[in-house]
Chain A
Amino acid sequence: MSEGGAVTGSVTEFRQSLSDLDTPTTVVPPDELGATLADVIEAPAVGAELPFDDLSLADAPVTLDPSPSQLRAAATGVTGSRMGIASLGTVAVESRADGDEFVGLYPSRHVVVIRASDIRTDLSEAFDWLRAEFAAGRRSFVLATGPSSTGDMGALVQGVHGPEEVHIVIIRDNE
């Protein structure tokens, strides 16, 4: 359950928003995370350990705590997100000591793991969450929406200083 009993945004709407951003999604139960990651990762992959007690990247085909050359060579970076926005297809990536920021920026594919129960309805609910996080002393987040892009070179191009493609893995709640 999310803090303050906030209404949980719908997975369907979240996926629709992401699909509008040409961002693929996969919905899986917790015990299939490892297998799914193996599917959506293009090797070599690096990762930042997930910010969830019950989910880990330890068994996934990713290098945690990567070196600079591993970061540069990686085709995929895997991070977790504790907040998504259904209406926008946005995920929050925290700037943590695990290096989420680098893992999510260097490789050309960014895979984000998020729990269905952490999806908020809209930006306004996301701000309720952000305020609570700030109050709790966690104060550095990137609200990322789709891949990085630019129109500065005369046409819309994806993948500039950040990833060219994003894949979101949604973990279905335990029933």
Chain B
Amino acid sequence: MSDSQRTDADRIRTLLALEGDEIKANTRLFNADRYDAVKAVGEDVHERNRTRAREIKEDAIERLPELIHRTRNAVEENGGTVYVADDAADANRYIAEVAEAEAAETVVKSKSMTTEEIDLNEALEEGGLEIWETDLGEFVIQVAEEAPSHIVGPSLHKSREEITELFEREFDPDESLDSAQKLTAFAREFLGDRIDNAEVGITGANFVMAESGSIALVTNEGNARKCASIPDTHVAVAGIEKIIPSVAELEPFAELISRSATGQEIPQYLSLLTPPVDTPTIDFNRADEPGSGAGDEERDFHLVLIDNGRRAMRQDDDLRETLYCIRCGACANSCANFQSVGGHAFGGETYTGGIATGWEAGIEGNDVAEEFNDLCTGCSRCVNACPVKIDIPWINTVVRDRINRGKDPGFDDLLVDGLVPDEEESGTPLRKRFFGNFETVAKLGSATAPLSNAVASTGIARKAMESVLGIDARRDLPAFERTTLRDWAGERKSRVADPDRRVALYPDVYTNYVQTERGKAAVRVLEALGCEVVVPDVGGSGRAPLSQGMIATAEAKAADAASALLPYVEEGYDVVVVEPSDLAMFRREYEKLLPAETQAQLDEGSYEVLEYVYGLLENGADADAVPAGDGDGVAYHSHCQQRTLGLETYTETVLDRVGYDVLTSDVECCGMAGSFGYKSEYYDLSMDVGETLAEQFEPEVDDRTVVASGTSCMEQLDALLLPGTRHPVELLDPAGR
């Protein structure tokens, strides 16, 4: 393990121990509530809102310069001021000037990630101002002098007991604050006094409406309302991307934001304010005069719109989507890795979770994004969670690719060059190229098996792999088969005289070289159901290099795979895929890697193997041709990308139809997928994530056969549970009858 890998491993281990439990409990609760809330409103309605929200954002970012202009006109017409700040320093300077003009001593703030981004508090404190965060979570973080660990719940890594300890230490209250009620009451009073006495109130803005110069604020506590209305001067700070055309476009977001964030139908307070508001100013110095102290002060309003890298992101075809983000945190909550380590590992200077890579790369730079970018395995569980349909894994991949370039100079001289015949520029780290070129390794390993397996498992080899490639020695390695699936199939005569359908079974790298049994089972099952099956000569889908951020190599692989498979499609073959992550390549990622028409043709012609079996049975194939389940129990773990594509139900239905009693796992993911779990620094995290699934299946293993659709899931399960795991298609194999 290199030094930096060791530091990462230590850091992750520490966070797992200190913050893991709270993060896990809270993010999983949000996530489960989100599923429930979506179901309650209806998937169709939710989907319509998402589509509409995305359209609005696409259009608004497209028209951003015009919308900024309209916002300025509207706010000024209302009597407020708009300032567009180029960067953090510019924004902070402006806000400090506003405070100075008000002769402010105390500033109260409502939670705002944008002010977190520009480090506003530090800047104002340097100028001698007293700043108080009034959102309770943010207040806890302020008192603890920590950074938020979650976009929506900044302090959700802290337990009630820790907060009690913190508050008692810092504030030395008269009575113990040993319950959530007491803590809340204490904070309410403490912050209430400060809000009443503050000269300036600062809020964020979840949305800015250009036509009327209004802002929308989403809160549950009511602190944003107080910060906006009690001090005479209100400063709202928002990224320029928060602008939408008018109140009419707010509707889908009002539907989506809380449901995605916390599973609420609507926040406690959705404020639509068009400042300066008509609410009278309040003067606590004239405490006994009616009419709020007959405050005769003018209300003052400043809208500070922050660029800080956003206009450049808008010009960047791959990062642009980041600007559609409404900061709901659903991508974090739906992420198995985030559920374990939280935002202190999975986050940058400001933003946390799946979309943090996009934000940090755009606002801070690739070096900040690099610190946590590898925690995204591309599992895609966040894709359906995101209310504006941002392709978060793609953003992570693009940034990874950019980070890769120029990392490992001098690598070209190394002997291992032959192992990595890829399209990458020199500089891509050796370790990434090793994983990215796993196909070459597999080819070689298979050609020299079983010797290669024996060598690879020796202590010396494992040590070398750990020190050169960072492959954790505690991990079992895949064992390569000497006879590949394609060799096996090539020697086989077709068993189907008059086929109903013709299938080109895609020999993904694992099925072809490692898990050949599941490939053979697939061939036999398809034949039994009346299909002619061929296993074409085609290489990897590009999944492995893509995972490492090696986009050029992935593109080349995609082009090769498509040109090898499409002739079959054109001749009327259906392409059937065993490994879900490869099918996901055809369906999702190839949109980014191939010409649209090619992608569409391959997508339409391809099926996941159990999806295909389901189709055959629906169309009259005889289920009796495969062994019956006889009521036996199955514990089934679908694959993350398969779930994102909505495919797991086919496996469930088929197994159910042939007579199995199916229990499906409902954890987000079983472990850090694929190559990630092999990396030394992520070993503990991978085990921690996998633990959840193991816990769910552990009580079942005596009564149920454990099956999983994905290679990495099987590997992870094999590492966690005895006995071993099988692919669902193996249960249907007539040879296993």
Contacts and interface: CB of A to CB of B under 8 A. Distances in A.
A98 to B, nearest CB: 8
Contact of A127 (B134, B179, B192, B248): B248
Nearest to A90: B266
A91 to B, nearest CB: 11
Contacts of A69: 287-288
B389 interface: no
B735 interface: no
A97 B279 CA distance: 5
A161 B159 contact: no
Given A102-B229, A146-B268, A161 B274 contact: no
B247 interface: yes
A162 B225 contact: yes
Contacts of B274: 139-140
Interface string A94-116: 01110111100100000000000
Interface stretch (A8-16, A30-38, A52-60, A150-158): A150-158
- Most A CB contacts (10 A, CB to CB) among B212, B225, B248 go to B225
Contact of A160 (B140, B196, B221): B221
B272 A155 contact: no
A67 B269 contact: no
B221 A162 contact: yes
A123 B272 contact: no
B278 A152 contact: no
A26 interface: no
A88 interface: yes
B429 interface: no
Interface string A119-153: 00001100100110010000111111111111111
A68 B282 contact: yes
B290 A67 contact: yes
Nearest to B265: A88
B293 A68 contact: yes
Contacts of A42: none
B191 interface: yes
Interface string A68-82: 111100000000000
A66 interface: yes
Interface in B221-239: 221-223, 225-226, 229-230
Given A149-B221, A152-B155, A160-B184, A67 B266 contact: no
Contact of B255 (A100, A123, A159): A123
Contact of A153 (B187, B229, B230, B289): B187
A148 B270 CA distance: 12
- Most A CB contacts (10 A, CB to CB) among B161, B221, B251, B277 go to B221
A97 to B, nearest CB: 5
Interface string B145-164: 00000000101101111010
11 contacts: A68-B289, A70-B290, A97-B279, A99-B279, A123-B254, A131-B247, A134-B247, A150-B184, A153-B187, A157-B181, A162-B221
Given A143-B272, A154-B160, 16 more contacts: A67-B292, A68-B287, A95-B273, A95-B277, A95-B278, A101-B229, A105-B229, A134-B247, A148-B221, A148-B222, A150-B137, A154-B163, A157-B180, A160-B184, A160-B188, A162-B225
